[in-house]
Amino acid sequence: MHDNDLCRVGYRWIRQFLALCCYALLLMPGFIQVLYYYFFSSQVHRSVVYGEQPRNRLDLYIPAGTTGLKPVVAFVTGGAWIIGYKGWGALLGRRLAERGILVACIDYRNFPQGTIGDMVEDVSRGISFVCNNIASYGGDPERIYLVGQSAGAHIAACTLVNQAISECGEDTSTWSVVQLKAYFGISGGYNLLNLVDHFHRRGLYRSVFLSIMEGEESLKKFSPEVVVKEVAVRSAVSLLPRIILFHGTADCSMPSAESEAFLDALQQRGARADLFLYEGKTHTDLFLQDPLRGGRDKMLEEIVAVIQNDDPGLSAQHLAVPVARRLVPEFMLRLAGRVSPF
């Protein structure tokens, strides 16, 4: 790489870092309140061990004041496969727990501590723990939903598809896809072959990305959209639970075309799949700005509606949940959207 190229790379990273700092400062009023909840609420059980590997930990968000077993969301957070952390799910955990839904935020090894195969292995182990142990925390093992966001949506989708394929062979795992009622993918990427150049242009350089994904020869293997198109896995696709995808049309980090193409591949194979596109929403709007805004959160309402439709009793019990209050002033949210590096 020439000196001029190094200068351009250095400038790009400095610019991105400064944008991230400004973005975080603008959202800080909300972050402080969520952090307080995360560390001091009795409803949050942090760092429950689910495996022997580093970062095999998960956080539990337990609904308060309800009786009986609760529906469960197993959540896999994003973070560009490099900075993912279970704590990023605190806001989602809080919002869903308010509606009587128990949430398990699964941590996993990030690069360079692990590569994509390690991440999928960790998430599979975390899902297994939830399926087999959640009843002891008040969760219903018959009502488990998988949710992934950004890179977490990709990892969760890989885990789900891999598990379905293994169940068509000599499966020896400790959980089954039939234990999951539905999978929700938020702003995910599902075809790595289309994303190498896209991420390179945005600063996640090709050499690093290929290292995360275990080389160019592994891109197809870890591309759920490509895998479900293979004739050999047709029977595996039929095992998949209902799949519901969410994406903002103004997402520059992970193009909404990723969810559209994955939906098309799933439907061509006969899978039950739906897509909700949110006009003008960015990569972080759906997961951060909208929940911090308070009031109605359309994506959250869609997730809750699916879970409630599977359990009319839960719907009746939580119709009176108060509207979420605003955590960040609107002008700060709008500024954050303008400076966001995502």
Nearest-CA neighbor of 247 among 271, 274, 283, 289?
283
How do strand 57-61 and strand 44-49 relate by DSSP bridges?
antiparallel
Of 84, 93, 88, 70, residue with least CA distance to 123:
84
Q: Is 150 a catalytic residue?
A: yes
Please give the Cα distance from 133 to 147 (Å, whole number).
18
Supply the mean pLDDT for the chain: 91
Give the whole-number percent of the chain exceeding pLDDT 70. Answer: 92
Which tokens in the block code for residue 226? 């490509």
Domains for the chain: give ranges and CATH numbers: 9-339 (3.40.50.1820)
Measured CA to CA, the distance from residue 159 to residue 183 in angstroms comes to 11
Nearest-CA neighbor of 222 among 209, 235, 232? 209
- Residue 235 annotated in active site: no
Rounded to whole angstroms, the Cα distance separating 321 from 100 reads 9
323 or 256, which is more confident? 256
> Is 200 a residue of the active site?
no
Kindly name the residue from 251, 290, 297, 311 that is annotated as catalytic: 251
Q: Which of 150, 187, 259, 340 is catalytic?
A: 150
C-alpha–C-alpha distance, residues 226 and 219, integer Å? 9
Give the H or E element holding residue 74.
strand 70-76
Convert the pLDDT of each residue in 93-150 to its tens digit: 999 999 999 999 999 999 999 999 999 999 999 999 999 999 999 999 999 999 999 9
Give the model's confidence band at 233: pLDDT under 50 very low, under 70 low, under 90 confident, else very high. Answer: confident
Around 10, how many Cα atoms within 13 Å sit in the side-chain half-sphere? 7
Task: State which H helix or E strand residue 11 sits in.
Answer: helix 3-26
Active-site choice (283, 285, 290, 340): 283
The closest alpha carbon to 115, from 201, 186, 221, belongs to 221
Q: What is the pLDDT of residues 27-74, one digit of tens each?
A: 999 999 999 999 999 999 999 999 999 899 999 999 987 678 999 999
Q: What is the pLDDT of residues 12-22, one digit of tens each?
A: 667 777 888 99
- Per-residue pLDDT tens for 209-229? 999 999 999 999 999 999 999
Between CA 106 and CA 127 the distance in angstroms is 8
DSSP letters, 31-63, are HHHHHHHHHH-TTEEEEEE--SSTT-EEEEEPP
